[in-house]
Structure 1
Amino acid sequence: MIPFILFAFIVLASIYFFVRRKKIKANVFTIDKSFLNREVLFYKNLNEKQKAQFIRDITDFLNGIKITGINTTLSNQDLLLVASGAVIPVFNFPAWKYRNLKEVLLYADTFNRDFESEGNTDRNILGMVGTGYLEGKMLLSQRALHDSFLNQTDKHNTVIHEFVHLIDKADGDTDGVPAVLLQQQYIIPWLEMIHTEMEKIKAGQSDIDPYAYTNKTEFFAVVAEYFFERPDLLKVQHPQLFNMLQQMFGTIPKKTGN
């Protein structure tokens, strides 16, 4: 009887230790609605019911994905901005989970391919989705994080860009063809649209960031930034592209009187 009691005690102690470790590792954050309303235009444009959903979504994200500062101290605002960038592209999919992400590593500044964020070492990376031994991790520059939400009319948002890569990767391939968002009958039209728009970029006849010309993967992420940052302008400048992205991501909510 005594060995059994001892065994049970060890098991319970192990469970307690495991749960406590998990709690220690969790993000400690506070939902600051005034900050979100001031700094996140997407949130500001939501009605009260939609704002409540947004709060639930970022809370769920922060409770499930660890955010770690690399040579920098994280603020509550950092956590809220990372979570906002994650939620915005999947706002119309409330059940969405980033199952291919476990942790976000936030560097103080831009970094290089060796993940160095200090010194003159060709540091020009704002963010990236990890592969290999970094599988399941996203790397972001803290400065790029804040810049992404500082100017919300410039068609650029590094955080959204990287989370769109994760959405693209959800089907197993990061190829610019997000099977989780794109029904089969739209794949060929989407590929044709990518080719057409990339040729316009190459010829200097497009307002889409030239980085989109890199490949199909980057094209998708870049135009998604444009879609969420300046939807009205995208609709005017590239109506077919706008319609296709709206088909994928759904309608961007807008406040109509609340």
Structure 2
Amino acid sequence: MTNHLRYETGELKACIDLRKVIEHFWGPGKPEGRAVRYAAHWRDDGRRDSFYVYDDGYKDFASGEAGDLLDWLQKEGIAPDFPSAAQWAINYLGGQVAPVDHPIIRSNRTSLQSTTPDWQQAALKALEESQRYLWSERREPKSILAYLQQERGLTEATIHQRSLGYNPSWHKTDYRNPDTGKLAKLPPGIVIPIWENGQLVALRVRCRVGTLAVWLDIDPDQFGSGRHEGEELPKYLNLAGSRLSGVLFNGDAVVSGQPVLLVEGEFDAMLADQILNANRDDPIA
């Protein structure tokens, strides 16, 4: 049987700085913190420059619309659909795929160093605590397991295999964020560990917003402080200190010369792996 490997497009997008891509097509914007401001090019922005571009996405404060690299590529007309946008992103990173009919921009970003030992120790501790909570007898974790099994289609074996956990509230870890000098907090939600060469390099959290909040019958979580106070959390957040740049979900399973299956999210990658391995004695990593 062919060894079908899964890439998760969220990790593919994390390898590319959207600010550099948009600067290539729209020219330089106006820096503001970690964002770059533009006037939206597909409508009259009234010279307000309300289109904010970050490394991992954009937010149009005039219309309320937000998206990521793949959304922008389609909205700008560079890619006609999601598969073409994903292919464009692979080409940007120098991947060996069929060419597309638009300019290819080569990233000049260098690979970041691996996570630090103190981060790994703190992240592993937080992950283990979230795993214990997920499999506890409390009511909320049981609802999370039902969501993973009924809504996402994952088996109990897959949930265990992927080392998923659940964090019920903002949890202060033992890792001190060098950018703030404060102990980093793990956001509430489903905890997804990302591994590279067998080493934990990121903790990604599916926040309790959207369909997950509806499933739990709760109001979507919001930021409780800072410049985003009162705003709804994004669908995914990462523990500070995580390294996602240059890392792909299930990337350790990549084998030269074997086909790769691109999917929309981590849960989709887990489900695809689960289905393709249903009749195998040696599950694909």
Q: TM-score range by the shorter chain?
A: under 0.3
Which structure carries more strand by proportion?
A: 2
Ranked by relative contact order (alpha carbons within 8 Å, sequence separation 6 or more), the top structure is 2
The structure with the larger Rg is 1
TM-score scaled by length of structure 1:
0.24
TM-score scaled by length of structure 2:
0.22
Which structure carries more helix by proportion?
A: 1
